[in-house]
A and B are shown apart, each in its own frame.
Chain A
C-alpha cells in the first residue's frame, strides 16, 4: 500500500505532495486554499481517493497543516541522513526506515533533491521506484520545462503553477501501476 509522497528541494521546501491511501477524513487541511502547499489530487486527473477516504479512527495530531508536516518530514530525513553519513561514512547510505505502521523510503539526487515515499511496512525497498520517478518524470516534465525551472529558482515553488501537470499525472499513473499500490 502506497500512502503518500513528498519531494523537497535543496532549500528544504516541499515542492510536491501527493497522497493516495491516506488514512484520514477528507476535511483535513489539504483543502484550504490559503495553504501555498495545498495540492488538490483531483487536479491530477487520476481521480485520487483522498477526498473520499473516511476512517473511523481519525488520525491523531491531524490538526497539523501540510506545511508543518512537510517541515517535520524534512527534519526527520535530514537528521537521519546526517546520522547515517556520520556513522557509515558513505555518501548516500540512508535507504528507508520502518515503524509499526508505515515505512518511509528515501532517495536523494546528486543535486540535493529529496524524494520521500511512505508505504505500508511490508513493502520491499522502493528506492529504485523513486529513482525512476526522478529520471522518467521529474527530469522530463520539470527539468526540461523552462517554465517550471524559472519558478524553481525563484524560491517560491507551487506545484500547481510550475506547469507540471504532466509530472503529476505521470507520477500518479506510475505509482498506481506498482504492484504494491493497494495491496496490504
Chain B
C-alpha cells in the first residue's frame, strides 16, 4: 500500500505532494512544507554523521507503521515514497515514478523544475502507476481513487487510454494540488 508521494526540489521546497491511501494523519499544506524542509535538512546531515566515509543521505526511514523511501536524482531532486512496510518492489516503483516525472514534468516546456508541479497528465499517470503496483487500499470502499477503469496497463498503453477516462477523474486528480505556495 502506498500512502503518499512527495517531490522535493533541490532547495528543499515541496513541489508535489499527493496522498493515495488512508492510514496516516492528514496534514495542512503548511505542515507538508515543513515536513519536506525537515527531511531535506536531515538528509544532508545524515551523510555528515556517518561513522564510515562516503555515505549518502538517508535512503529509507523505518517506523512501526510505514516506511519512507527516498530517492535523490543527480540533479538534487528528491522523491519520497511513503509506503506500507510490506509494499514490494519499491526500487522498481521509484524508477517508474522518476520516469513519469521525466516524461510529464521535465519534458514539459512550461514546467520550471523548481516550481510546484501542476500537471494533470502527471497526476493521471502517477495514479495509474500507483494503481498498477497495488498501491491503493482496495478494501477501502470510499477511496475516491478507485474508479471503474482499474486496468493495470503498461506505461505505453496509458497515453492512449487516458483519453477514455471517466469524466470525474480530472477533477479528482487535480483536487489535491492546492499547495498554496
Q: Which residues of A contact B (CB under 8 A)?
A: 3-4, 19, 21-24, 55, 57-61, 64, 69, 72-73, 75-76, 79-80, 82-84, 86-90, 92-102, 104, 118, 125
Contacts and interface: CB of A to CB of B under 8 A. Distances in A.
Contacts of A83: 35, 38-39, 42
Nearest to B47: A99
18 contacts: A19-B51, A21-B51, A22-B51, A24-B53, A55-B53, A59-B50, A72-B45, A83-B42, A87-B24, A93-B63, A93-B64, A94-B63, A97-B62, A98-B60, A99-B47, A101-B52, A101-B53, A102-B51
B56 interface: yes
B52 A87 contact: no
A120 B129 CA distance: 33
Contacts of B65: 88, 90, 93
Nearest to A87: B24
Nearest to A60: B53
B57 interface: yes
B63 A76 contact: no
Contacts of A97: 46, 58-62
A174 to B, nearest CB: 19
Most buried by A among B48, B52, B56, B57: B52
